[in-house]
Structure 1
């Protein structure tokens, strides 16, 4: 939600530089908000929904904050490194 609130300001600041900068600003903003949601279990509502569904499943898998973080940190770092290389 904060992306919707701050996106206009970011885009307006970038637009003062050039139209290409405005487009790049929106792409970076969308990318960062997506990557940030993958970092921790609380980073996205979708993460919490899947966690709860997994717990309720027949198998009853219990995904804790720390077990998600073990996957979330490395995957976020990899995606961030690739994204930064592509953005440049």
Structure 2
């Protein structure tokens, strides 16, 4: 997919190539924060927390959503104006 992003951006301008990569990286990162299934790292940490010998914690999909949605909205509200300035 990366080659397709670069080719499409290059048709606009050389500067658009860098901006498209930054935008793709940012969107991928923010999307991973939204839900427990949004990132493999989320699932790994959740499983390790559940298996911890002391103070084990069972994080459910809905418990993560309670944190994930507001944090994603805040990061999106801050990030969109910043990306618009690139």
TM-score (normalised: structure 1): 0.90
Unaligned runs of 5+ in 2: none
1:26 aligns to what? Answer: 21
**Which whole-Å deviations, capped at 9, do the CAs of 1:38-69 have from their partners, x for residues lacking one?**
11001111000100111111111110000000
In the alignment, structure 1 residue 38 sits paired with structure 2 residue 33: yes
Unaligned runs of 5+ in 1: 1-5
Secondary structure, aligned partner of 2:12: coil
Secondary structure, aligned partner of 1:16: helix
Correspondence list, 1:1-88, <5 A: 6-57=1-52, 58-88=54-84
Deviating above 4 A after TM superposition, structure 1's stretches of 4 or more consecutive aligned residues are none
Secondary structure, aligned partner of 1:54: helix
**Which whole-Å deviations, capped at 9, do the CAs of 1:6-65 have from their partners, x for residues lacking one?**
222122111111111010000000110111111100111100010011111111111000
Give the conservation status (yes or no) of the 8 Å contact 1:14–1:25.
Answer: yes
Give the conservation status (yes or no) of the 8 Å contact 1:38–1:44.
Answer: yes
TM-score (normalised: structure 2): 0.92
Q: How many residues align?
A: 83
